[in-house]
């Protein structure tokens, strides 16, 4: 499946369950394990779990089975590994604490800028 098509499926699934602050990060230049990271927030652990479940459901229906899903029990941060895309669904306070957008953005991280040339 084309990366753009899978991205659209994931974003639409997140929007369907009213995810907040959806960000798509292209990490192809700085990560070897995936091409894109999609980060979104849910307002409660129940919504975080529902968001991740909807992503898994929509991707599976489209013929893409996740390599793994982590964090469903606690549902403060659920990671869905779709190989080409890694989806992070978090509570806002968890997202603020780990600040993945800053960590995985080359312009915001001089160490990554140096490491990637």
Domain containing residue 7: CATH number = 3.30.460.10
- Whole-number average pLDDT of the chain: 90
Residue 34 lies in domain: 3-107
Within-domain flag for 91:
yes
Mean pLDDT, residues 19-45 taken together: 94
Residue 117 lies in a domain: no
Secondary structure in 3-state letters for the chain: CCHHHHHHHHHHHHHHCCCEEEEEEECCCCCCCCCEEEEEECCCHHHHHHHHHHHHHHHHHCCCCCCEEECCCCCCEEEEECCCEEEEEECHHHHHHHCHHHHCCCCCCHHHHHHHC
In a domain, 76, yes or no: yes
Q: What is the pLDDT of residue 105?
A: 77
Q: Is the pLDDT of residue 109 over 70?
A: no
pLDDT of residue 42: 97
pLDDT of residue 115: 47
- pTM of the predicted model as reported, rounded to 2 decimal places: 0.87
**Total domains in the fold of the chain:** 1
């Amino acid at each position: 499946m084309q990366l753009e098509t899978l991205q659209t499926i994931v974003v639409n699934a997140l929007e369907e369950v009213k995810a907040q602050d959806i960000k798509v990060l292209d990490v192809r230049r700085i990560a070897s394990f995936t091409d894109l990271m999609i980060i979104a927030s849910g307002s409660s652990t129940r919504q975080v779990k529902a968001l991740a479940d909807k992503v898994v459901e929509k991707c599976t229906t489209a013929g893409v089975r996740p390599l793994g899903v982590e964090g469903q029990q606690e549902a403060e941060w659920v990671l869905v590994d779709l190989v080409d895309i890694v989806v992070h669904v978090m509570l806002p306070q968890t997202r603020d604490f780990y600040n993945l957008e800053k960590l995985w953005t080359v312009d915001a991280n001089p160490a990554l800028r140096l490491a990637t040339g």
